[in-house]
Amino acid sequence: MILFLTLLESTLRAQPVAWDSIYRPDIYGPQVELFKARPHSRKDIVFLGNSLTFWADWSELLGSRRYKNRGIPGDTSFGVLARLDEVIRGRPTKVFLLIGINDLARRIPDSVIVQNYRRIVRALKAGTPSTQIYVQTLLPTNDAFGKLKGHYHHEPSIRYLNGALKEIAQQEQVGYIDLHPHFIDEAGKLKKEYTWDGVHLTLAGYTRWADLLYRGKYLKRRRLTL
């Protein structure tokens, strides 16, 4: 797996592209080391992604210590691919994946993001066959906040990617959770009550996300486990 990614990234580095497959945010290394140092359990339910995942206290929000946060701010689909070994090693019962908005902000082509999603799903399936995998659609953004300009105005790509994720889920026989329509306003933007900068979520946004997982019966409601 690691050798494959190394060869892939070496090939991409040699190509004259306007995007960078080896970019990692400064927090990436320390977070991966922290993840590896923490205990793993096959009862774990992992939320895997970028800052949208990172800023949620999933164990508090969902009422159990079984929920593990594997979000890294600024991460991309390439970054997730490179750290899958830590998730696979734990053999979690479920993985909820949401990644891609930083890829778009860094001008990674839609086709490459789709390829990376497929690689992530296949690596998880091969490495931990008993794990239930759920791909979650990218959320809309809202440029009215004017804070994260590189992350705005990718709606055509977001729609394309979300459609592609549905196909991947069907072809790979994994779960597909369409979050996008539940966060969008009449103008096609992320609802203001769900965000504070047009990309990241407020408590209301995370509560809505959790409620969708409960309503879809992807998760069961339970009291906090000490």
Whether the per-residue pLDDT at 123 is higher than 60: the answer is yes
**What domain range includes position 87?**
39-137+148-215
Q: State pTM to two decimals.
A: 0.91
Q: pLDDT per residue over 102-120, tens digit each?
A: 999 999 999 999 999 999 9
Q: What is the pLDDT of residue 17?
A: 62
Q: Of the ranges 109-123, 133-147, 190-204, 211-225, which one carries the lowest mean pLDDT score?
A: 211-225
Q: pLDDT per residue over 28-86, tens digit each?
A: 999 999 999 999 999 999 999 999 999 999 999 999 999 999 999 999 999 999 999 99
Read off the pLDDT band of 5 (50, 70, 90).
very low
Residue 9 is assigned to a structural domain of this protein: no
> Tokens at residue 5, please?
């990614």
Residue 19 is assigned to a structural domain of this protein: no
Residue 31 is assigned to a structural domain of this protein: no
Residue 3 is assigned to a structural domain of this protein: no
Residue 131 is assigned to a structural domain of this protein: yes
Q: What is the number of domains present in the chain?
A: 1
Which stretches does DSSP call E strand in 56-188?
A: 67-71, 94-98, 132-136, 175-177
Residue 8 is assigned to a structural domain of this protein: no
Q: What is the pLDDT of residue 75?
A: 98
Read off the pLDDT band of 8 (50, 70, 90).
very low
Residue 29 is assigned to a structural domain of this protein: no
Read off the pLDDT band of 226 (50, 70, 90).
very low
Cβ-proximal residues to 24 (8 Å cutoff; 6+ apart), any chain: 75, 79, 82
Q: pLDDT per residue over 176-213, tens digit each?
A: 999 999 999 999 999 999 999 999 999 999 999 999 99
Whether the per-residue pLDDT at 13 is higher than 90: the answer is no
Residue 127 is assigned to a structural domain of this protein: yes
Q: At 97, which CATH number?
A: 3.40.50.1110
Q: In what order do the strands lie in the sheet with 94-98?
A: 67-71, 45-49, 94-98, 132-136, 175-177
